[in-house]
Amino acid sequence: MSKLHDSGVTDQGPTALVQPIQRRSFLKYTGASMAISGLLLAGCDDDDDPNNSGNLLDVGSGDNGVLNYAYALEQLEAAFYAQVKTGTYYSNLGAATSEKQILDDLALHEKAHAEFFKTALSTNAIKALEPDFSSINFNDRTSVLTAAQTFEDLGVAAYNGAGRYIQTAAYLVIAGKIVSVEARHAALIRDLLSYNRFVDNDVVDLFTPTGNASTPGVGNGTGLERSMKPNDVLAKANGFLKEGSKLSANNLK
Amino acid sequence: MDLFKIISDIEKVDPEIYERLDSRRRVFKHFGLAGKAVTGAMLPGLVSGLFQRAYGQTNSLPADIVAVLNLALSLEYLEFYFYDSGLAAPNLIPSADRPAFEKIRNDESGHIKVLRGALGSAAIPDPTRNAFDYSGGRGTGVGPFATALVNNYALFLGSSQAFVDTGVRAYKGGAPTLMPNKDILEAALNIHSVEARHSSHVRTVRRGLAASQSGQGATGVAGDLSNLNARPKSWISGTDNGGPSPSTNPSTAPVYGAGNPATGAPTAIFFPAENNISQAGVDISTIAGLNATAASEAFDEPLDPATVKSIARNFVNAAVAPNLFV
C-alpha cells in the first residue's frame, strides 16, 4: 500500500508520519469500491496514535495550525537568505548586478512573510526554529541557488497543498497573496540556474497536446502545479532543521 | 457488525468520512437504517450504494462556483489564443524564447482541460480565436496593442504580462468562493501559482529585451525601480508604475490598481492596489529592516470579478462574443 500514494515524492519521512496521509490519498484517488479493500488492508484494529510524534514540534490544528505551518516554512526561508549574505558568493556580487538585487529582494520578502505570521499569530505562534544549513555551501553559487530553488518550489507546493485546510476566507486570501510571490521567486531562481525552466515537469504536471496544439484542452497532463501534502513537505523541510526544531503536521485536516 | 462500526473503522483510513456522509443524511433515511444492525447478507449492495454516494462525483456545482470557474476559463481562453497567435506570427517571437511561450501556451491548454473537466456541462463553449481583439479595440482591430501580434515583440511581452498578472489576481480573488469544494480549490491554486511563474518569466524576458539581452542573458539584467514599465522586477513592485502601457486606452494601469471594494476591515476580503503595504491589519513596511517597496512586493493582491471582467472586455470582439466577460 505504501507504493500507492499519489505524489511523486521520493523522500520518505518516518513511517508513523507518512502512513495516514498515504492511506487517505489512496482512498481519495481510488474511490468507493477500493475504500472497502483499503479498509481491510489497513486493518480494523490498527489505531494510529495522533500524539505519537516523537520529539517533533507539531504545528497544531485549525487555522492556527496552517498559519504556523506557513510561519515555519517562512522562518526557514528567511533564515536561509539571511545566511546567504554571510557567504562569499553573495559578497562578491557587484552592487548593480541582477543577482544581488534578486537575493536582497528575496531576503526582504521572506523576512516580511515570517514577521507577518509571527505578528498575526501572536501568542499562538510556534517558537523560533533553529535551521541546519550544513548541507549548503554559502560560498558557492550553484549550491546557494539550488537550495534557494528547493525552498521556493517547496513553499509553493506547500501553500497550494495546505489551502484546503484553511477555514477562514481572509486567511486563504493571505496565503494566496504570498504563494504567488513565492512562485515568482521560484521561477526566477530556476531561470537563473537554467533558462526556460521557470515551469518544468518536476514542479508542474506539464501538458502535452496530442493533436493540433492550437486546439485548446486536448492532450495529456494538466498544467497544474504539483501541490504537496504537509507531511511530504515537512519530510523535506526537516532536513534543514535541527533536532528540537523538526516539525510535524499531524492535526491539519 | 453494524453500519456505525463500519463507518468508525473507515474513519481510521479516511478522516473525512463523516464530512462526506454528513451532507447526505438522507441516504440513511432512505434506507431507514439509522442505528439498526445490518446483516452480512445486506452488506454488499448497501455499502456500495452508500459509498458511491459519499465518494462519487456530483454533477451540479453551486452557481457561485460555476461563475468563478467560468470566469477563470474565459481568461484561460483569452491567454491561450493570444500566445497561440503569437507563436503563429512569423518573425515575432525570437527562437530563444519560443520554447518558453510554447510551454506557457500548453500550460493554458491544460488549464482549459482541467476547468472544463470541473465544470462539465456548465462550462462555457470555446469562444474561439475570433472572439478576441488583441489590439484592445473591442473588435475594430486598430487598438493601441495592434502590433503586438504582428512584429512588435516588446508589445507582445507587455500584453503577455498584463494578461497573466490579471489572471493571477483573478484566481486569488476567486479562491474564497471555491472553499466548499476542496479538490476544485486545490486545482485552482495549482493553476494560480503556475500563472505567477509565467508572469515572473515574462517579466524577466522584458528586462532582457530592454537591455538587448535574450536567452540566459536576460537573467543578468536587474529590475529598474525608475523604469518599471519597461524593466520590471519578476515580481510586482508598488503598482509597477501602471504596468507596460499605462498611457494608452485601454491602459494597463487597472491591472495593478485597486478593485472593488478597495478597503475593508482586517478580517474582511477586499481588493487593494498592488502597492498595498498592510496585511490583516499588520503594517509590513514598518517591520524592522523593511520598507514600503519590499512590503508591496512581498504580497500580491487579489482582484474582484467585476474589475477583472472590465479589464478583459477591452480585448473581446463585442460583435462576435457579446456575452464574454459580461
Task: Judge: B55–A160 Cβ closer than 8 Å, yes or no.
Answer: no
Average pLDDT of chain B, as a whole number? 89
Helix (H) or strand (E) holding B278: strand B278-279
Residues B256 and B272: their CA atoms lie apart, in Å, by 9
Give the closest of A173, A217, A224 to B175, CB-based: A173
Q: What is the pLDDT of residue B15?
A: 53
User: Cell numbers of B221, please?
Assistant: 539584467
B166 within 8 A of B315, measured Cβ to Cβ: no
Q: What is the pLDDT of residue A234?
A: 98
Q: What is the pLDDT of residue B30?
A: 40
User: Cell numbers of B160, please?
Assistant: 503577455
Q: What is the pLDDT of residue B12?
A: 58
User: Cell numbers of B245, please?
Assistant: 502601457
Least confident of A16-25, A193-202, B250-259: A16-25
User: Cell numbers of B219, please?
Assistant: 537573467
Question: A44 or B88: whose pLDDT is higher?
Answer: B88
**Is B63-315 a CATH 1.20.1260.10 domain?**
yes
Task: Judge: B287–A120 Cβ closer than 8 Å, yes or no.
Answer: no
Q: What is the pLDDT of residue B10?
A: 53
What band does A170 get if pLDDT is binned at 50, 70 and 90?
Answer: very high
Long-range Cβ pairs for the range A200-205 (8 Å, 24+): A202/A153, A202/A226, A203/A153, A203/A156, A203/A157, A204/B107, A204/B194, A204/B197, A205/B110
Residues A27 and B212: their CA atoms lie apart, in Å, by 53
Residues B293 and B283: their CA atoms lie apart, in Å, by 12
Chain A contact set for B269 (CB, 8 A): 169-170, 173
B60 within 8 A of B119, measured Cβ to Cβ: no
User: Cell numbers of B234, please?
Assistant: 519578476
Helix (H) or strand (E) holding B283: strand B282-283
B136 within 8 A of B250, measured Cβ to Cβ: yes
pLDDT tens-digit readout, A103-129: 999 999 999 999 999 999 999 999 999
pLDDT tens-digit readout, B289-302: 999 999 999 999 99
Chain A contact set for B294 (CB, 8 A): 105, 108-109, 112
B199 within 8 A of B164, measured Cβ to Cβ: yes
Task: Report which of B197, B182, B176, B115 is spatially closest to residue B302, judged by C-alpha positions.
Answer: B176
Task: Judge: B223–A101 Cβ closer than 8 Å, yes or no.
Answer: yes
B236 within 8 A of B165, measured Cβ to Cβ: yes
Which value, in Å, is the radius of gyration of the alpha carbons in chain B? 24
Q: What is the pLDDT of residue B8?
A: 58
Residue B136 has pLDDT above 50, yes or no: yes
Question: What's the per-residue H, E or C state across chain A?
Answer: CHHHCCCCCCCCCCHHHHHHHHHHHHHHHHCHHHHHHHHHHHCCCCCCCCCCCCCCEECCCHHHHHHHHHHHHHHHHHHHHHHHCCCHHHHCCCCCCHHHHHHHHHHHHHHHHHHHHHHHHHHHCCCCCCECCCCCCCCCHHHHHHHHHHHHHHHHHHHHHHHHHCCCHHHHHHHHHHHHHHHHHHHHHHHHHCCCCCCCCCCEECCEECCCCCCCCCEECCCEECCCCHHHHHHHHHHHECCCCCEECCCCC
Provide the pairing of β-strand A57-58 with A247-248: parallel
Chain B contact set for A1 (CB, 8 A): none
Task: Judge: B52–A32 Cβ closer than 8 Å, yes or no.
Answer: yes
Average pLDDT, stretch B171-193?
Answer: 98
Percent helix / strand / coil, chain B, rounded to 5: 60, 0, 40
Residue B36 has pLDDT above 50, yes or no: no
- Please name the residues between 192 and 251 in chain B that touch chain A, using a CB distance below 8 Å: 192-201, 204, 207, 215-216, 218-223, 233-235
Task: Judge: A216–B220 Cβ closer than 8 Å, yes or no.
Answer: no
**Domains in chain A, start-ordered, CATH in brackets?**
1-48 (no CATH), 60-194+227-248 (1.20.1260.10)
* Closest A-chain CA to B79: A216
Q: What is the pLDDT of residue A120?
A: 97
B235 within 8 A of B297, measured Cβ to Cβ: yes
Spatial neighbors of B246 by CB under 8 A, at least 6 apart, are B229, B252, B253
Residue ranges of domains in chain B: 3-55, 63-315
First to last CA, chain B: 56
